[in-house]
Structure 1
Amino acid sequence: MIGALVPLSPPGWAEHGRHLLTGLELAARELEVQLVVRDTAGDPARAAAAVDEFADLGLAAVAGEFHSVVARAAAARADARGLPFLCSSAVIDALTDHPTDHVARLAPAQSHGWRIYADFLLAAGHRRIAVIAEPSVYWAAGTRILREHLAARGGTVIELDLDALGESGATAVLLLVGDAEPLVTAIREDSRLSGILIGAPAGQPELAEWGAAIPFLRYRADRLTPLGDRVEAALGGAPSFVALEGYDAILVLAEQLRTGAPWSRVTVEGTRGTIRFTRPPGGHVWQWTWPPVQVATRAASSTA
């Protein structure tokens, strides 16, 4: 049995959680793996308690989770309990505070994906980037990655609130918040901001009605593997990349549990490519290096 951590209720991003669960459940059915699912609701304490429950039940491993701060709590508890945890979707670089062989990750590290996003902004001619961010370890880490990467290439990142955006001189604004819809509406209704690019690198626009024409990061390629094509069809066509992450997580764990191989020797043909794990320089967990990364909009996408 494998434990599954998913945000299925607020304040977690429940729609992303449902997509994640759909992928997890499809793979579990096909591979005849039993799942024990727990809703984290975006709460680190609930995730840690669920990992304790999984360990007490004697489960073989844990998969899932979307929110970085929640995944950090789950990873710390899984490491403490000696329970393998494959994080499907959270990207924060510091998933654990020290090296561990109990934790691996499918999603790319934030520093990898968000640098690709920064390069996309530069290529589009944006040199002065505004950031509206909520207080969070995750958003702060993303802002720091963007600032350092852009500064080395002649760009500038300024943190401000919505009231100051019109006078900032920024040509793009990134919304690093959980609920971006009110900000999107306000910006689109402000005639002074009619030419500004709205960005949301964390991926909210893929599933949100307001997300048209807002570039975001997603971790898939235009062309999936043959398995990915089959999974996409089984999921009803064009699922969120988060569903593919869920499917791949169970696929990897089933292979690892079948063979008893360490992360470094696991190789699986997943929905988005061949999955192999390494420990990147300075990284503390085993990492798929790297899944495909796109900067996408509803209308078009560019693959990096």
Structure 2
Amino acid sequence: MTIPPSPAAPRPTDPTSLRLGVLAPLTPPGWVGAGRHLLAGLELAAREVNDAGGIDGRPLELLVRDTAADPERAAAAVEELAGLGVAAVAGEYHSVVARAAAARADTLGVPFLCSSAVLDALTGEPTEWVARLAPAQSRGWRIYGDFLLGAGHRRIAVATQPSVYWASGTGLLRDHLAARGGVVVELDANALTPEALCDALVDQGATALLLLVGHPKPAVPIVRAVRGDLRLGDLLIGAPAGQPEFAEWAAALGGDGAGIPFLRYLPERPGPLGERVGKELRERLGEEPSFVAFEGWDTVTVLAELLRSHGTDRAAIAASWPRVAVEGTRGPIRFSRTPGIGVWQWTWAPVQVVDRDPAEPERFRVLHAG
């Protein structure tokens, strides 16, 4: 079955514009909050490029396509955007979706700068066409494992669902913790009710539960069940994939959603550029910008520099990943080849383990940095 791309954006009114394709999850079952933040960063950076005169006088135009967390839809969108003459494709949040987009971009010979997806194996084979800003899952999740160990957790349960991304995360945690005396116990969130999962946590003697599941279901019902179980009052709940970063999490869970450590990719103290962009994003979003919004801004900034320095030819852009150097909102960005990763990689964006302060859920606390 062929899944059609999302509805096309209006045709450009300026025939001289430089087109960039954009992929983002903007409708369910995609993580809409993440897509909204990603798009805000992308659009802000494009506006700033255009306010400064564009690329050699040509305005940037973003052709936005909603992936809705669907890999086939993303692949079809890449094909459509390639046909519309984009110089490159950018964006995406969900790792499995980004992997499908990267594969199609590689096949078609279209540069793809992945903004936010972290799966190490973003492509099946090494490719020159794809680069990534987000740190690889193996880096971030090992830092998360170090946080767990440092907090005294040696027996960790993971509530998980079938997914390449969740399976990869489980394997990374298991290997990292096992080498340091830790144990990972898998609990099938599809087979267990939240109440049965609580019973299993008690039986297993786990001191931490990691949510490697979708939001809002089953993540929200699991959190509510665990928070309401007096036997599990000392259990740490964690969400390494970053769900508590977004307003939807706090809206769904209130105080129950606080004190749940997650990964985010921001420096502990932003520099002047990060401060300025953060203020603009805050005004644009009407809320605190997530790391995903900064990833969006950095994405367009990198591509704009490539277009200025190396032109609009797709092959020339792809050949120039290792030669671009820009100041991003979270530090200087350069791409290199990293062992075990088949795409050009920024090595590395800063990594933090953060939670929402139980005493003030709108405030984030940095618990660990790597």
**TM-score with structure 2 setting the length:** 0.81
Match of 1:105 in 2: 132
- Aligned counterparts of 1:275 and 1:225: Cα–Cα separation in 2: 14
Cα deviation, 1:171-222, whole Å, max 9, x if unaligned, reads: 0000001121111001001111111000000000111113311000000012
- Aligned counterparts of 1:5 and 1:168: Cα–Cα separation in 2: 41
- Aligned counterparts of 1:297 and 1:99: Cα–Cα separation in 2: 35
Match of 1:296 in 2: 354
Cα deviation, 1:29-67, whole Å, max 9, x if unaligned, reads: 111221000000000011001100110011000110000
Q: Which amino acid aligns with 1:142?
A: G
Match of 1:286 in 2: 344
Q: Which amino acid aligns with 1:291?
A: A
SS of equivalent to 1:160: strand
- Aligned counterparts of 1:183 and 1:20: Cα–Cα separation in 2: 27
Residue pairs, 1:1-304, within 5 angstroms: 1-32=19-50, 33-161=60-188, 162=197, 163-179=199-215, 180-207=219-246, 208-209=249-250, 210=253, 211-236=257-282, 238-260=288-310, 262-299=320-357, 300-301=365-366, 302-304=368-370
Deviation at 1:303, TM superposition (A): 2.0
Task: Give me the CA root mean square deviation.
Answer: 1.0
SS of equivalent to 1:62: strand
Deviation at 1:10, TM superposition (A): 0.6
- Aligned counterparts of 2:305 and 2:113: Cα–Cα separation in 1: 12
Deviation at 1:166, TM superposition (A): 1.7
- Aligned counterparts of 1:271 and 1:225: Cα–Cα separation in 2: 7
CA contact (8 A) 1:225 1:270 kept: no
Q: Which moved more, 1:273-282 or 1:160-169?
A: 160-169
Higher Rg of the two aligned structures: 2
Q: Which amino acid aligns with 2:163?
A: S
CA contact (8 A) 1:75 1:95 kept: yes
- Aligned counterparts of 1:236 and 1:15: Cα–Cα separation in 2: 14
Identity over the aligned pairs, expressed in percent?
A: 68
Number of aligned pairs?
Answer: 304
Deviation at 1:225, TM superposition (A): 2.4
Deviation at 1:71, TM superposition (A): 0.2
- Aligned counterparts of 1:263 and 1:289: Cα–Cα separation in 2: 13
- Aligned counterparts of 2:65 and 2:187: Cα–Cα separation in 1: 37
Q: Which amino acid aligns with 2:333?
A: I
Q: Which amino acid aligns with 1:189?
A: G
Cα deviation, 1:232-280, whole Å, max 9, x if unaligned, reads: 0111263100000000000001111211261111111000000011110
SS of equivalent to 1:34: strand
Q: Which amino acid aligns with 1:251?
A: T
SS of equivalent to 2:204: coil
Unaligned runs of 5+ in 2: 1-18, 51-59, 189-196, 311-316, 358-364
- Aligned counterparts of 2:330 and 2:238: Cα–Cα separation in 1: 24
Q: Which moved more, 1:193-202 or 1:258-267?
A: 258-267
- Aligned counterparts of 1:183 and 1:257: Cα–Cα separation in 2: 47
Q: Which amino acid aligns with 1:259?
A: S
SS of equivalent to 2:82: helix
Unaligned runs of 5+ in 1: none
SS of equivalent to 1:29: helix
- Aligned counterparts of 1:168 and 1:90: Cα–Cα separation in 2: 32
- Aligned counterparts of 2:332 and 2:112: Cα–Cα separation in 1: 20
